[in-house]
Amino acid sequence: MESSNLQNRITEQLLELIKEESLEPGDKLPSEMTLARRFGVSRSSVREAISQMQSRGILEVRPRSGSYIRAVTDDPVGAPLQQLLSFDHNKMWELLEVRKHVEAAAAELSAIRRTETDVRSLREILDFLDQAHRENRFDEEVEKAYGRFFKNLSGASGNTLFTHLMDSIGDLSRSALPFSRVKLQQFPHTKDVILEQLHRIAGAIESRDAEAARTAVNEHIEFVEKSLRDVLGYKDLNKLARQEF
């Protein structure tokens, strides 16, 4: 096999691994030795593929530490938007508006096309979130589970472009105002309502009710926006960001 074809194959396998393991930005890849054994190739071939993915902005290689996810997909859309958000945090409200329309459309398709495996994966995530809620936990694992819920929702649509768009929007949302998620959790009963909304979304998808799935996602995003505006006091987010940091 030609070297370029081998690198392309390894890159595809790495992307599939990232998807299967639901790895997110900041997560670490297995070691080169582990990957070489898994893919049946040499460590040098794995290293070259990782180097390619680093040059595309998908991975970050940290000396003496390992390779970390920078983005699940090469993201020519997210990069300029990230720059815009870094200069104007108030664009987050426009981002939430985009998220509402994209995720509502994905939920509608997911209700039509979902499989039993898709439903089971959503229910497993909700079981974890229910347990975390009973324990009054809100940590990194809980936040990742929330992200996985919407990643799996988009995957159930059968449309990979929805998955890529939602990955980009999720990354932008998490990085736009990192302190906003903490503040949102301080708002009374927010966690209760959000969890109930996720159950409603999953229920609509399981029942193959496309209209109900779209409506439930719209209500969820609108609630998140209203709660954020309330807890942040409708302040100028650019000034608030400077105060926080």
Model pLDDT, residue 143: 79
Q: What is the rounded CA–CA span in Å between residue 92 and residue 215? A: 22
CA distance linking residue 58 with residue 52, whole number of Å: 9
- Greater confidence, 71 or 158? 158
What is the residue extent of each domain of the chain? 3-69, 78-244
DSSP secondary structure of 57-78: TSEEEETTTEEEES-SS--TTH
Q: How far apart are CA 242 and CA 237, in angstroms?
A: 9
Q: What is the pLDDT of residue 122?
A: 95
Q: Are 239 and 148 in contact (CB under 8 A)?
A: no
The answer to which of 97-106, 171-180, 181-190, 225-234 has the lowest mean pLDDT is 171-180
Q: Which of 14-23, 43-52, 213-222 has the lowest mean pLDDT?
A: 14-23
Give the tokens for residue 210: 């496309």
pLDDT, tens digit (0-9, with 9 covering 90-100), for 109-126: 999 999 999 999 999 999
How far apart CA 32 and CA 21 sit, in angstroms, is: 17
CA distance 224 to 226: 6
Structure token digits, residue 66: 């390992």
The topology under which CATH files domain 3-69 is Arc Repressor Mutant, subunit A (1.10.10)
Distance in angstroms (rounded) separating the CA atoms of residues 203 and 126: 11
The pLDDT of residue 95 is above 90: no
Per-residue pLDDT at 55: 67
pLDDT score of 3 more than 80: no
| Architecture in CATH of 78-244 | Up-down Bundle (1.20)
Q: What confidence score (pLDDT) does residue 242 get?
A: 45
Q: Phi/psi class of residue 233: alpha, beta or left (left: φ > 0; alpha: ψ in -120 to 50)?
A: left
- How far does Cα 238 stand from its chain's mean position? 24
